[in-house]
């Protein structure tokens, strides 16, 4: 005789945040979520995905690359400051400025939304409620018009499809 499954049904709860065109706030929120995931060991229980608008989706990989390039050139300038020739210093400064010009238009093109999925089991209801209270109350999240979508709500299925479609 086979026994009943010992794993409880784990309800999903989604938090939706609309950052408008403020890519910087969205990245701050993403960074904060990543810190919480590591600090509280919430690997599978707290997952998030960024959704960018039509124009932003095409420019996003370029923007991510250009954001990293100025930081690398600044670090390399600091490490090898005395080793570079005067002509090389000017070229490095010019490369940083050129990359900096590309960041602003790419970030201002489309809207950025953050979808957060909380995935706690039945006996962790108190923990789930604490996270539902904490996340929208923190600084980068509270300005992004937080919205909670629970499993029994009508728009839940479309939020699940939206979350699954994002990478």
**Domain ranges for the chain:** 11-53+112-165, 58-107
Query: CATH number for the 11-53+112-165 domain, one of 1.10.10, 3.40.91, 3.40.390, 3.30.70?
Result: 3.30.70
**Separation of alpha carbons 45 and 36, rounded Å:** 11
Which residue's structure tokens are 């960024």? Answer: 50
What pLDDT was estimated at residue 107? 45
Q: Are strands 11-18 and 112-120 parallel, antiparallel or unpaired?
A: antiparallel
Local confidence pLDDT in tens for the 167 residues of the chain: 555 555 555 678 999 999 999 999 999 999 999 999 999 999 999 999 999 986 534 444 443 433 444 444 444 444 444 454 444 444 444 444 444 433 344 444 689 999 999 999 989 999 999 999 999 999 999 999 999 999 999 999 999 999 999 97
> Could you write out the DSSP letters of every residue in 21-52?
T-HHHHHHHHHHHHHHHHHTT-TTTEEEEEEE
What pLDDT was estimated at residue 9? 58
């Amino acid at each position: 005789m086979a026994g009943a499954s010992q794993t409880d049904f784990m309800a999903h709860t989604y938090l939706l945040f609309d950052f408008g065109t403020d890519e910087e706030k969205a990245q701050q929120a993403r960074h904060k979520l990543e810190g919480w995931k590591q600090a509280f060991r919430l690997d599978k229980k707290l997952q998030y995905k960024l959704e960018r608008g039509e124009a932003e989706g095409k420019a996003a990989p370029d923007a991510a690359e250009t954001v990293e390039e100025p930081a690398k050139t600044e670090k390399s300038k600091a490490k090898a400051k005395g080793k570079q020739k005067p002509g090389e210093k000017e070229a490095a400064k010019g490369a940083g400025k050129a990359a900096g010009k590309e960041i602003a238009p790419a970030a201002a093109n489309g809207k950025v939304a953050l979808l957060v999925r909380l995935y706690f089991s039945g006996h962790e209801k108190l923990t789930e409620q604490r996270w539902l209270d904490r996340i929208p109350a923190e600084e980068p999240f509270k300005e992004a018009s937080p919205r909670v979508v629970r499993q029994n709500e009508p728009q839940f299925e479309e939020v699940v499809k939206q979350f699954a479609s994002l990478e």
